[in-house]
Every structure is written in structure tokens, then in C-alpha cells.
Amino acid sequence: MIRFPRALAGVATAMTLLCAPVQALDLTSMSEAERAAFGAEVRAYLLENPEVIIEAVNLLEQRQAEAEAVEDEALVAANLDELYNDGFSWVGGNPDGDITVVEFMDYRCGYCRRAAPEVEKLVREDGNIRLVIKEFPILGEASLISSRFAIATRMVAGADSYKLVHDALIDFGGEPSEVSLRRLALGLGLDADVIMAKMNDPELNHELAQTRALAQRLKISGTPTFVVQDELLRGYLPADQMSVIVADKRDQRG
């Protein structure tokens, strides 16, 4: 009888497993000795060729990423109007831009702070991006207070004042107490009393609840999260990588 090297026998076993009809793969039809021999061959092959496991894991991760991308695209499509035009989120960049970038952010998020200058650079250098900021405070009470203050500013003083406060809160190093927020408002020439009085307004609460519900529908659990046209990008990306994605979106549109 011809005897093959163990590794080749393992390959043969693996190929048989992959190519045989489903009914032929029923291990319960094997005897205990046959199952033991089968398992030993597979184990021996994997031990002698561990790169196969890495290849399999990489392939699985690739397939999972592709499936998640398809799911994300469907989620964005189902919520596109609320992402782009909810009627309250701050809109900057070029309001008539051909590409829309939406950012879900938290002022206490280190990666959001790291992303802020990258987003500014992207929008400035491109010149044709419409930027939408979604207030999504998920990192505790300080995050919530900061978002309330920013939204209240927009409500009482307008979009330009909101952007000033937004940028200041991104760089803010202390705790957002009433004293520190009043000082921040006064430093920007804003009416601190009016802003502070607006921070618990029912309309403001409704805005936060709407954004949180939208994030839940999109399965967003961390910040920053970006939507670039029809694609969800979960996590921090530098400006050059986002620029490539924006260029790809333009190419897709022809």
C-alpha cells in the first residue's frame, strides 16, 4: 500500500471535506475509530500548516467586513433624509457641495478632538463638501452638558455662534461647569444667561433624543462616526484617507 506524507494526507482529507456532498460529511455515520482518525489527520495538517488557519481567519474577516458594509449602506439609505436634512443639525462647509459628510461626535471623545482639525482641513481644501455635525454625547454627564450648551447656543444665537462654541468645546480642557461655560460664553461675546436658561428646553431635549434614535437605527455606538455620502465610517480617519473616499464617491457618481 502506498503511504503519503502526513501533510499530504491532511490535504486530501481537507479536500474531501470541502468537496464531498453534504450527506458524505456526516461524522455521526463514522465509527468512533474513523472519527478519531479523521480528527487526527486534520489536527496534524493544521499543526504542520498553521498558515491555513490565518488564511481562513483573514478570509472570514474579509467576508464579515463586506457583509457589514452592505448592511451599513442599506442603513444609510433608509435614513438618508434624516442624516442630511433633520432641520436642526449644524451645516457647514459648502451648503451646496456635491458631497455630504455627516459626523456624529462627542466633545469629550479624544478621537473626536483628534479628528476635528482633520475634518476642517478636508472641508477647507476640498471646497465642495457639505458638512453636517450631529451632537451625540455618549461619554457621560460632561459630554451631555457640553452638547446642551452648544445646541442652546445655536438656538439662541445662530449657526455662526454655534461653530465658535463647538470649536471652543473641542479644545476645552476643563470640566464644563456653569462657571466655566459662562466664562466661555462671555469670552466669545455671547449672552451666557440666555444660553444657560435654554439648556433644558424641551425642544433641545427632543433634538438630542432624535439624534440618539438615529444613531441607534444606524447601529452607531462610538464616536467619531462619519457618513460620507452613502458610506458609514466608524472611527477616526485622517484627512488624506477621507479625501480618497470623497474622490471615490465622486468617481462613482460619474
Contacts of 68 (CB under 8 A, 6+ apart): none
At residue 168, what are phi and psi to the nearest 5 degrees? -65, -40
Where along the chain do its domains lie?
Answer: 6-77, 79-253
Q: CA of 252: how far to CAs of 42, 77, 99, 169, 230, in Å?
A: 45, 16, 12, 36, 11
User: Using CA atoms, how far apart are residues 237 and 34, in angstroms rounded to an integer?
Assistant: 52
In this predicted structure, the answer to whether residue 122 has a pLDDT above a threshold of 80 is yes
pLDDT tens per residue across span 154-188: 999 999 999 999 999 999 988 999 999 999 999 99
* Per-residue pLDDT at 21 exceeds 80: no
Res 15 pLDDT > 60:
no
Question: Does residue 199 register a pLDDT over 90?
Answer: yes
pLDDT bracket for residue 129 (50, 70, 90): very high
**Across residues 230-234, what is the average pLDDT?**
92
Residue 190 confidence (pLDDT): 98
Please check whether residue 127 is in contact with residue 252, taking contact to mean a CB–CB distance below 8 angstroms.
Answer: no
Average pLDDT (100-110) is 97
CA–CA distance, 3 with 19 (Å, rounded to integer): 22
CB atoms within 10 A of CB 250: 14
The three-state (H, E, C) secondary structure of 147-175, written as one string: HHHHHHHHHHHCHHHHHHHHHHHHHCCCC
pLDDT exceeds cutoff 90 at 28: no
pLDDT tens-digit map of 45-82: 878 888 877 887 887 777 777 667 778 899 999 999 99
Which superfamily does CATH assign the domain made up of 79-253 to?
Glutaredoxin (3.40.30.10)
Predicted TM-score of the model (pTM): 0.76
